[in-house]
Amino acid sequence: MIEILVGSQMGAAEYVAEQVAETLVQAGYETKLHLQPDLDQLSPTKVWLVITSTYGAGDLPDNIQPFADQLAQDRCDLTTLSFAVITLGDSSYDTFCYAGKTLRQLLQQHGAKPLIENLEIDVLAADLPEEQALAWLPQLVNSIKKGE
């Protein structure tokens, strides 16, 4: 089971998450989308895939900020957890894709293991965000398989 945690203000990251979930289901994985991620509703024994955009000056979208606050305050042990992060951002900002960097750091502080480098999707690039995500997905699936 792959828990997909979505951080999205205007829907672009949410759309990417839906496309990624559909493709993972086709590859034989069970997925669950969390549009309001809540630490208490997530199992730390599964793979978490965070898909988030970046707002403000490198900030997290409003819907995933409470989850980051929970993580920052909680002493939870995530050492059994593997995770990956897809971030959407705009490369004209100095704080390009910082939301993903912040969440990666928070998860690692609790002992969770990154499966792969963060995918940083530039919304200014010619390819659509979902195309960039789906092109990268086989790398993620390989790293999940290696960990199984």
Ligand X SMILES: Cc1cc2nc3c(=O)[nH]c(=O)nc-3n(C[C@H](O)[C@H](O)[C@H](O)COP(=O)(O)O)c2cc1C
Q: By the criterion CB under 6 A, which residues form the site for ligand X?
A: 8-14, 53-58, 61, 88-90, 93, 95-98, 123
Cβ proximity to ligand X: between 11 and 111 the closer is: 11
Q: In 3-state terms, what secondary structure has residue 140?
A: helix
Cβ proximity to ligand X: between 57 and 148 the closer is: 57
Q: Shortest gap between Cβ of 38 and ligand X (angstroms)?
A: 19
Cβ proximity to ligand X: between 5 and 81 the closer is: 5
Find the Cα–Cα–Cα–Cα dihedral 126, 83, 6, 129, rounded to 10°: 10
Number of helices (H) and strands (E) in the chain: give both, helices first.
4, 6
Q: Shortest gap between Cβ of 37 and ligand X (angstroms)?
A: 14
Cβ proximity to ligand X: between 101 and 106 the closer is: 101
Q: Shortest gap between Cβ of 145 and ligand X (angstroms)?
A: 28
Single-letter amino acid, residue 24: L
Q: Shortest gap between Cβ of 50 and ligand X (angstroms)?
A: 13
Strand 31-34 with 113-114, pairing: unpaired
Query: 10 Å Cβ neighbour count for 135?
Result: 11
